[in-house]
Chain A
């Protein structure tokens, strides 16, 4: 058993499952948005689309899925390459630095997305 406190769900299984579920949600959202803008879209139809509550909920679900998906993915990349094993103690500093940067960026994007979705 390897202890880890920075992974998304602290459990490999929960991260693995969430990565798959969020991928399916994101795929569905990409299909939905592509279908919505297919053949052109103007401001009025775009605004009408996003004034519906279910579209906002679906969009928020997609944003939260993207946030979780991005964290799990970036965490795996950072713990592969920015490690004490590969870079010495510098690796630990770099990894924690990038983890803070990633989580902060994701947090800002999530709050910003909520603001955009419910602002008009």
Chain B
């Protein structure tokens, strides 16, 4: 029997959060953490969490499992369970709405700040804006982000300054548009980032790289942004 400890909090009933211990019979199979949550929910329907695609594409079930952020649907028990114990908490640093569900408003506000859409002030061509394969390759490792918030909520700089530091996820997206040869707003984008908080609260500890379920590297993207700022301002 797997010993599962789940963070529970229902603001309508509980004065404060608590951990609930539940025994789960996995039948000796190496299930995904989401499967375990589904088994628990079939017994206790009040356990609440977000999930959708259950295959690591939608980014809904970002959770903290045994101290490490990740997607419950693609995290096998063998990867996270130590001593037959699994502790499941919501993503750290964001306000909890209920049980494992967090309010992601601060995360999305930072995402919105980087204007995550293509800006081009030249007249639109008849068919589409073409890119060379080399230019397109510059977006690899950037466009794959699914906004699950595992990285930003693993970042102490984002914990302390979620209103001012854009966070690894938002900065990866910022660089995705800075690196895009079809985008013409590079100067304006960079001008928005040159303050002591937006980019420079990153101290390069790479928690984001450590937890990204898609294997992306926000720290490297932040380094590229810094180099772009540096080459323009020196």
Question: How far is it, in angstroms, between the C-alpha of A15 and the C-alpha of B201 when the chains are bound?
Answer: 11
Segment at the B interface, from A2-10, A36-44, A62-70? A2-10
Question: How far is it, in angstroms, between the C-alpha of A15 and the C-alpha of B196 when the chains are bound?
Answer: 7
Is B103 interfacial (CB-CB < 8 Å)? Answer: no
Is B233 a contact partner of A13 (Cβ separation < 8 A)?
Answer: yes
Interface residue tally of chain A, by bracket?
20 to 34
Is A85 interfacial (CB-CB < 8 Å)? Answer: yes
Is A59 interfacial (CB-CB < 8 Å)? Answer: no
Is B161 a contact partner of A7 (Cβ separation < 8 A)?
Answer: no
Is A11 interfacial (CB-CB < 8 Å)? Answer: yes
Q: Which residue of B lies closest to A4 (CB)?
A: B196
Is A99 interfacial (CB-CB < 8 Å)? Answer: no
Is A1 interfacial (CB-CB < 8 Å)? Answer: yes
Is B200 interfacial (CB-CB < 8 Å)? Answer: yes
Q: Output the residue of B162, B164, B234 with the most chain A CB within 10 A.
A: B164
Is A2 a contact partner of B160 (Cβ separation < 8 A)?
Answer: no
Given the interface contacts A79-B161, A80-B161, does A2 sit within 8 Å of B196 by beta carbon?
Answer: yes
Question: How far is it, in angstroms, between the C-alpha of A81 and the C-alpha of B156 when the chains are bound?
Answer: 11
Is A12 a contact partner of B160 (Cβ separation < 8 A)?
Answer: no
Is A13 a contact partner of B230 (Cβ separation < 8 A)?
Answer: yes
Which residues of chain A (62-96) have a CB below 8 Å from chain B?
Answer: 75-76, 79-81, 83, 85-86
Report which of B160, B199, B234 forms a contact with A85, defined as CB distance below 8 A. B160
On chain B, the residues within 8 Å of A108 by CB distance are none
Q: Which residue of A lies closest to B165 (CB)?
A: A2
Question: How far is it, in angstroms, between the C-alpha of A4 and the C-alpha of B201 when the chains are bound?
Answer: 13
Question: How far is it, in angstroms, between the C-alpha of A24 and the C-alpha of B4 when the chains are bound?
Answer: 49
Chain A's nearest CB lies how many Å from the CB of B183? 19
On chain B, the residues within 8 Å of A83 by CB distance are 160-161
Is B157 a contact partner of A2 (Cβ separation < 8 A)?
Answer: no
Question: How far is it, in angstroms, between the C-alpha of A21 and the C-alpha of B139 when the chains are bound?
Answer: 32
Q: Output the residue of B197, B199, B226, B233 with the most chain A CB within 10 A.
A: B197
Is B200 a contact partner of A13 (Cβ separation < 8 A)?
Answer: yes
Is B197 a contact partner of A2 (Cβ separation < 8 A)?
Answer: yes
Is A15 a contact partner of B198 (Cβ separation < 8 A)?
Answer: no
Is A4 a contact partner of B160 (Cβ separation < 8 A)?
Answer: no
Is B46 interfacial (CB-CB < 8 Å)? Answer: no
Chain B's nearest CB lies how many Å from the CB of A91? 11
Is B195 a contact partner of A12 (Cβ separation < 8 A)?
Answer: yes
Question: How far is it, in angstroms, between the C-alpha of A11 and the C-alpha of B197 when the chains are bound?
Answer: 9
7 contacts between A and B (CB under 8 A): A1-B191, A2-B164, A2-B198, A3-B195, A13-B194, A15-B196, A80-B160
A7-B196, A12-B197, A76-B201 given. 18 additional CB < 8 A pairs? A1-B191, A1-B194, A2-B164, A2-B195, A11-B233, A12-B198, A13-B200, A15-B200, A17-B230, A76-B196, A80-B157, A80-B160, A80-B161, A83-B160, A83-B161, A85-B160, A85-B162, A86-B160
Top 3 nearest A-B pairs by Cβ distance? A12-B200, A12-B196, A2-B197
What is A's interface to B at a CB cutoff of 8 Å? 1-4, 7, 10-17, 75-76, 79-81, 83, 85-86
